[in-house]
Structure 1
Amino acid sequence: MITFLIRAAIFVVSAAIGLIAADLILEGFHIDWSNWWGFVLAVLIFAVIQSVLAPWVFTITRRHAPAMLGGIGIISTFVAILIVVLIPQAGLSISQPVAWLLAPVIVWVVTALATWLLPPLFIKKQVQERRAA
């Protein structure tokens, strides 16, 4: 159970890092920093939608367009960003067409790297705590 919670926290943190990276890199991608609760809402909604969409998009893609299986992460990231942008309280907006194209790629790459690099930090700490106990 603890491992599940750690993995969920890592996914939420990686989603936040990905959205922040897109905000810093892309001119047309905006996070409303004046409303921190909106950003937290955006991150949580994005993380939940992304975790639900990825398996669903995989199933649909495998069945109807197997050549696109490699792009599942980017497709589900795009859909998750689209849904979050449509929620007014989420504090996320995209104002340029280029940002619509590049934001999913940036968020996907950064999220993938974060979910790959963060677990050893937390799992190593958990292993050390168990050994000490």
Structure 2
Amino acid sequence: MVRTLLNLAVFLATAAIALLLTSLLVPGFHVHPGGFIVAILVFAVVQALIEWLVRSLFHRAAPTIAGIAGLISTFLALLVASLFGGVGFDGIAAWILATVVVWVIAAVLGWIAGRFITPRFDKGRTGKR
């Protein structure tokens, strides 16, 4: 249970940081202050569901299509977040660039979190079952 909550916190933090950094790096991509929390929640939930669905459907080829699945889930998550008014785009170029930048940032932050946060949590456990 604690590990699930930790993963959820890391996923939400990763989404928040990725969206904020992308709004600073990509001209034409905007995170609306009033919809920031909604954007984070919608983005994180939609991306997690789509990623899970793609991995479930293509579990044997998951390493091969992980990048494509990540880009597709990021694109769709940004689409849904924009429908809720949390993010906005000034054109197709901003949409495409924001998708790639959010995906890269989220992937790097997810890797860092998995490498440094989760192992520390696991080392604290003692005893075998």
**In 1, Cα distance between equivalents of 2:80 and 2:119:** 35
- In structure 2, give the amino acid aligned to 1:56: L
Number of residue pairs aligned between Structure 1 and Structure 2: 121
Structure 2 residue runs of 5 or longer lacking an equivalent are none
- In structure 2, give the amino acid aligned to 1:96: G
* TM-score of the pair, normalised by structure 1: 0.78
The aligned residue for residue 72 of structure 1 is 69
The aligned residue for residue 83 of structure 1 is 80
The aligned residue for residue 5 of structure 2 is 5
**In 2, Cα distance between equivalents of 1:105 and 1:6:** 26
The aligned residue for residue 94 of structure 1 is 89
Question: Over residues 52-99 of structure 1, what are the superposed CA-to-partner deviations in whole Å (9 max), with x where a residue is unaligned?
Answer: 011323456x4xxx9x824110011001101110113x2x11112211
**In 1, Cα distance between equivalents of 2:116 and 2:54:** 30
**In 2, Cα distance between equivalents of 1:121 and 1:59:** 27
Say whether the 8 Å CA contact 2:38–2:84 is kept in structure 1: no
Aligned-residue Cα RMSD (Å) equals 2.4
Say whether the 8 Å CA contact 1:23–1:31 is kept in structure 2: yes
Q: 1:46 aligns with which of 43, 46, 60?
A: 43
* TM-score of the pair, normalised by structure 2: 0.80
Q: 1:107 aligns with which of 79, 99, 102?
A: 102
Give me the identity figure in percent.
Answer: 34
Say whether the 8 Å CA contact 1:15–1:47 is kept in structure 2: yes
